[in-house]
Amino acid sequence: MKKKYSAGIDIGSTCAKTIVLDKEGNVVYKDLRPTGYSSIDTAESIRHTIEEAFGKDSFHTVATGYGFSKGRALLRNVASNNTGKP
């Protein structure tokens, strides 16, 4: 059985913060990086990083911050395992 994780992503206007918790609530990954000019590119980069580290189908993701509205479609795509369906 695959391990399940929860990822919290805060994409702000200057930096993006990511934290990944295991089922027991332990922090297993954290990241802080500049947002740059594109919050969507930053969200995509974060998604790629955590999928490479933990597997593509292992996440419940929550996002907040400036980039949330711009990255909403991307996050829906991640949540639906890239099928385009919610």
Give the separation between CA 4 and CA 23, rounded to whole angstroms.
6
Q: Report the distance separating Cα 84 and Cα 11, nearest Å.
A: 22
Question: Which CATH number do you get for residue 17?
Answer: 3.30.420.300
Query: What pLDDT was estimated at residue 72?
Result: 58
In tens, the pLDDT along 5-36 reads 888 888 888 899 999 998 899 999 999 999 88
Residue 81 above 60 pLDDT? no
Please give the Cα distance from 58 to 81 (Å, whole number): 10
Query: 38 lies in a domain?
Result: yes
With respect to residue 12, please indicate whether it lies within any of the assigned structural domains: yes
Confidence tier at 83 by pLDDT (50, 70, 90): very low
- How do residues 34-77 score in pLDDT, each as one tens digit? 988 888 889 889 989 988 988 877 777 666 655 555 555 555 55
For residue 85, being part of any structural domain is answered with no
Domains: count for the chain: 1
Residue ranges making up the domain that contains 58? 5-79
> Is 84 contained in some domain?
no
